[in-house]
Structure formats: structure tokens, C-alpha cells
Amino acid sequence: MKKWIPALIAIVLIIVIAAAGFGAKLIEKYSYSTERADLTEYFGITGSDDVPIILQDEQIAEHARLWDGECYFDLATVHKYFNDRFYEDKKEQLLVYALPDAVVSTSVGTSSLTVGDAAQTRDYVIARYEGDILYIAADFVKEYANFSYELYGEPYHMQVYTEWTERQTALITKDTQVRYQGGVKSEILTDVSEGDSVIILDEMDKWTKVKTRDAYIGYVENKRLGDKTVEAPTPVTDYTEPVYASNTRDHKINLVWHSIGGMSGNDSLTEMMTDVKSVNVVAPTWFALCSDQGDYVSFASADYVAKAHDMGLEVWAVVDNFNGGEVDTYEVLAGTSSRRSLIDRLIADALEYDLDGINIDFENISLDAGEPFIEFIRELSIPCREHGLVLSVDNYVPMGNTNHYDRAEQGIVADYVIIMGYDEHYKGSDEAGSVASIDFVEKGITKTLEQVPADKVINAIPFYTRIWDTTGTAVESQAVGMEIAQQYIADHDITPVWDEETCQNYGEYQSDGTLHQVWLEDAESIRVKLNVMNNYGIAGVAEWQLGFETADVWDVIEEYMDQ
């Protein structure tokens, strides 16, 4: 028996060692890790002044900056999350904000600003550059947006709220840790104490995703969470969205553009209006930008305005960027000095000539000129509003890359947004087609109405068509008025046929290998367009251009105006 004792002892020792090893593994597996996460890496911090942003309950890609104890957002972040009306003048290093009745302006790097003509100061630098990126103080942004923010340290990060919906919370029942992921081996983000409140984000079987009151987002064991309650945060309502009062009319608008090629063109008004019916606004093409400093050619005439007023017509003078020569619209509008000089001159002329409104027709605006353009409209709207001048803006049918025209903002600050409901096919098109098929017109209206109230939308119709000549792959066209188009049909013995797809009379013929085509604009096609416009209840109609129409078209337009 004695000889077995050593063997038994050995077996027992093996069992004990194995058990100890197994136990150690169990302890290792189920014990809580004390390793702490690298918070710089967790937040993605890149420097001592870098401040990660937790927006609502999620860290966003954008970061703030901390300078001299003040938090700053870059302009792109401000536009994306808070208010997109802040305008950066890169040329003159200004931050500009247009209110309904005044322009707010501050030189970058200073604490001073002007609101209209009134000087003010803040106890911090309002805006500053880092490299070529503009940053705006969060406290200044708060003057124009409703949000709250709290800055936390070790390391710096900030909690931002722009919404204040109800949220579920729970109390911590025992001192514990918030971990990067659910699991006892996950790294520790921060500690929470018994009685601390956390916001519940996502509940799972054993762990719950939470956010601490100092904006750490991680996981806590469910057994450490007490009774849950619903919390209703108090919204921030310090900022009230201003009302941009409108000079809209209480009747349908019927505007006709009058193309003026020079001062002598003004003499044609009386004759041109002989057969016209139901027009209440005439828009002469008087002002054309002619320099990058905002100068413009003017054909304005006080006699013209007096005659128009005697006819019961309002005069909304057109300002364009293509009839005065080669002009860089970005250069004109991007700089505050040239932009304001243009505005001041336009208002001075409007008052001198007793105009009723201004019609902005800036076309082919480049992407980089989009923000300067809409800032120009904002700032021009201020004196127009003050002096009772109607501000209307011409826009392409919203197709392709024209979002930078910002029709939604136009619909807020301007009085009318006019759709140029034509040029579906135009000079330079690689195929022949209608100038304004009914689907094209209706799509222009519906897409504009997605952004602009119906009582501010005017749809413009064409008094012209294009005669197309296609030889092989070569396509040429010329724009002609209705009377010339009808004469073309007669001269070439074309019998037009109604085309249901475009809702136009269509005609064609071939000669010497060339296909000649025409989609007519006439009383019939105009009637269909007006019926669609009436169905959508928009503010009215405009026509390009006076003198291109046949007399019978006015009867159709008069019916629309009387509806």
C-alpha cells in the first residue's frame, strides 16, 4: 500500500495544479479588465486645441477648436448643422450675415462688428482663420441658431444639442466603469459612481449602450443600471427665426419681358402693347453688368416708366449678367465692396426712375459663384423690402446641376421665383426637340414647388420656337417668334400634327438629305401650359418676349388670368 502513496500524491498534485490552471483561466476569462482606453485615440483628437463634437448622441466627423477659452466651429460645420446664412468674404476677409432689415458684418480676427450702421463688440474674437479655413465662435453662432453646448475636459470634447426629444435615463446602482464595448475585457472609457445618471442609447442582453452626462458613449452592464425614467430636456429657444416680409401682390402676376437693345428701344412700348391683354407687369431689359467691379450698362427711361404706369403696368427692370460683355459673376458678387456697390446703384436707379421692382436674370452661374449669388439676393432684398420694391429672380427649370442657385432661400428672401420654363432644347443642343414640352414645364413647376411656396412661383412661357435642321449628326437651329414660325409652316407646305407627348403642333419635311423640324408654340400649346399652371395654383405667368407672340395668344392668357 505504501508504494502507492507517492503515486496518489502525484496524482493529487496534478489535479490540484490542473484545477489551479483551469481556475486561473476562468478568473482570467471572467475577471474585469482594468486597462483604460487611450481617449485621444477614442475621440480622434489631433492636437491640444482639437475638440471632438458629440451631436445629440453620436460623435460626428467634424471637430471644433478651442482658442483662448472659446469654442469655434469651422464654417462648413456651421452651415451643415446650425445656419447656412453665414457668408465668408474671402477677398476682403469678412464674415457677413444678412438679416431681413440689416447686414451684420465683422472683420475676421476682431471682436467688433456692425449691424447695419450700428457698431457693436463682443468679448471674444468673433471669427478667425486657421490656414484658409474660417472658424466662427460658437457663442456668436448661437445668436443665430438654437442649440446648446457644453465643453468637457481631460481630454477636451463637447456635447452639442440641436434637438430636445424625450430620452430614457437610468441611475447607476454601484460604482462601475463605462467600457468601449460590451464585455468585461473591453477597455475602460470612464468611471461612473453610484447615483450617477446615464442616458440609455441601446439595450442588449447583458450590456447597455449609454452616454454619460459628460458625453462618453460606451457600455455598462445591465446589472449596474437601476430603474429607468423618461427625461424631457428643456429646448433652447433664445433665437427666433426672423420673418422676411414679402412685397408679393394679392393678384395673379402676368409679366412680359420687353427686350430693349438700346435707348431707342424704349420708344416701342406703346406700339408693342397694342394687342396685349391682362398684362400687369412689364420687365424691360435695362441693366446689364459690364465689369467685374459691378458696373452696368443702363437703358433706363423715366418716360418709359411714366407711360407704363399710365397703362396700369408695374415696371420691374431686368438686371442681367450676359448682355453687357464678358463679366465674371463671381468677381462681381464675391467681394462685399463690389456687391454692395452694385446694390446701392440698383436701388438708387430704382428710386430715381420710380420703378416698382427689380428682376434679376443672372444665368450660367458657376458653382463657386453660388454662395455669392444667394448672398447678393439676400442683401438686395433688404433695401427692396425697405422701399417697397418687388424682387424677382429668374431661374432655370431645376434640372441638372443648378442646386447652387438655392431656390429655397430665394423663396424666403425674394418676392417671386420665376421659372424660365423653356430652353428644354436650345442652340447648341445635340438633338432637335421642343423648346418647352408639357412634361418639361410641369416638372419645372413641381420641383420648384418642393422648395418655394406656390404664391411666390411664376412660370415663364416661350413666345418663340426653334426651327431645326439636322443633316447626319450635325444639328442647327434658329429661334423665331410665333408669326415667323407660322409663315415657315406655310412657305414649306407643312401640315402640322398635334403631338400628345409634347402637347404641341409638330411639323417636318426633308430636303437634300436634311430633316427640317418644328415644335410650334402657339395658342394651343400655350393653353395646355396655362392649364397645368392653374392646376398648381402658382402666382402667375411670365412671357419671353414681347413682340414674338401672335395676337390670339393673349386671349388664351386672358382666360388664365380670369380663372
Say if residue 447 is in the same domain as residue 553: yes
Domain total of the chain:
3
Say if residue 72 is in the same domain as residue 197: no
For 318-377, how does the pLDDT look when each residue is reduced to its tens digit (9 = 90+)? 999 999 999 999 999 999 999 999 999 999 999 999 999 999 999 999 999 999 999 999
pLDDT value, residue 116? 98
Whole-model pTM: value is 0.93
pLDDT value, residue 24? 46
Please indicate, yes or no, if residue 499 is contained in any of the structural domains.
no
For 36-74, how does the pLDDT look when each residue is reduced to its tens digit (9 = 90+)? 999 999 999 999 999 999 999 999 999 999 999 999 999
Say if residue 311 is in the same domain as residue 426: yes
For 412-448, how does the pLDDT look when each residue is reduced to its tens digit (9 = 90+)? 999 999 999 999 999 999 999 999 999 999 999 999 9
Q: What is the CATH number of the domain that holds 227?
A: 2.30.30.40
Say if residue 175 is in the same domain as residue 266: no
pLDDT band at 18 (very low <50, low <70, confident <90, very high): low
Structural domain including 207 reads 164-231
Say if residue 146 is in the same domain as residue 193: no
Q: Please state, for a pLDDT cut of 70, what percent of the chain lies above it.
A: 95
Q: State which of 152, 176, 209 marks the end of a domain.
A: 152
DSSP output for 474-495: EEEEEEEEHHHHHHHHHHTT--
Pairing mode of beta strands 112-115, 103-107: antiparallel
Say if residue 270 is in the same domain as residue 329: yes
How much is the mean pLDDT over the chain? 95
Q: State which of 152, 181, 205 marks the end of a domain.
A: 152
Q: State which of 88, 119, 152 marks the end of a domain.
A: 152
Burial 294-311 (b: 16+ CB within 10 A, else e): bbbebbbbeebbebbeee
Q: Which helix (H) or strand (E) holds 377?
A: helix 370-387
Say if residue 111 is in the same domain as residue 187: no
Say if residue 266 is in the same domain as residue 379: yes
Task: Please count the residues of the chain.
Answer: 563
Please indicate, yes or no, if residue 114 is contained in any of the structural domains.
yes
Three cell numbers, residue 497: 400634327
| Cβ atoms of residues 227 and 197 within 8 Å | no
Please indicate, yes or no, if residue 442 is contained in any of the structural domains.
yes
Say if residue 187 is in the same domain as residue 140: no
